[in-house]
Structure 1
Amino acid sequence: MLFGLGLFNAGFLASITISLSSSWSIAELFGWSKSLNDKIWEAPKFYVIYIGSLVLAALAILIPNLPLNYISIITQVIGGVLVSPLLIFLILMTSDKKLMGQYTSQFIR
């Protein structure tokens, strides 16, 4: 019972964290207000994306006979494949003296 409760809480926290970080990233991309400290009328686009992603995830879970284990494995594989080019770009970006100034990474010289 205790393990099940812990697993539920971990999943609940992950759903909030993932949808919130995705909403923040999209709002950052478009230059919208993006803080939970803002009221809904101060950052409506951010909150629409945030609440919409929560509702979409909840609806996906409720689809009958959906192979959730398979979907979770596929999403992890896609994430692993996509992170490789991202890490290369990140290393190149942080190694640029013009961009980073005194905080330049010493990884590539």
Structure 2
Amino acid sequence: MSTQDTPQQLPLTFRGISPLDGIRVRWAGSALVILGFGLCFFGGIAGVIFGVLSIALGIAVWALTHFGHYNWYDLPPVSRRVVGVGAVTGYVIVAVYLYGMILITKIIRRFA
């Protein structure tokens, strides 16, 4: 498959930001792998199962996108689904963690 000469907008783009661009795909894969290791060590037997699945999804996202160096429209449809699920899941994990830490530090500053 070949790409077109005109740049196309990535899916799920909001204000020029998409969880499916290269750098966010790398961070999403990292978040999934870190979450997977955390679940494996602190989640009991269900944590191990979901941890292994999370690690596998993070590695699959990295492998299918060549660590973020890819064009969304050159991926086959099956790969798009895997990368889309992994990127959005990892992006949400990173966002919740970062915004949660900001909220916690603001609450601590208010009461300290």
TM-score of the pair, normalised by structure 1: 0.33
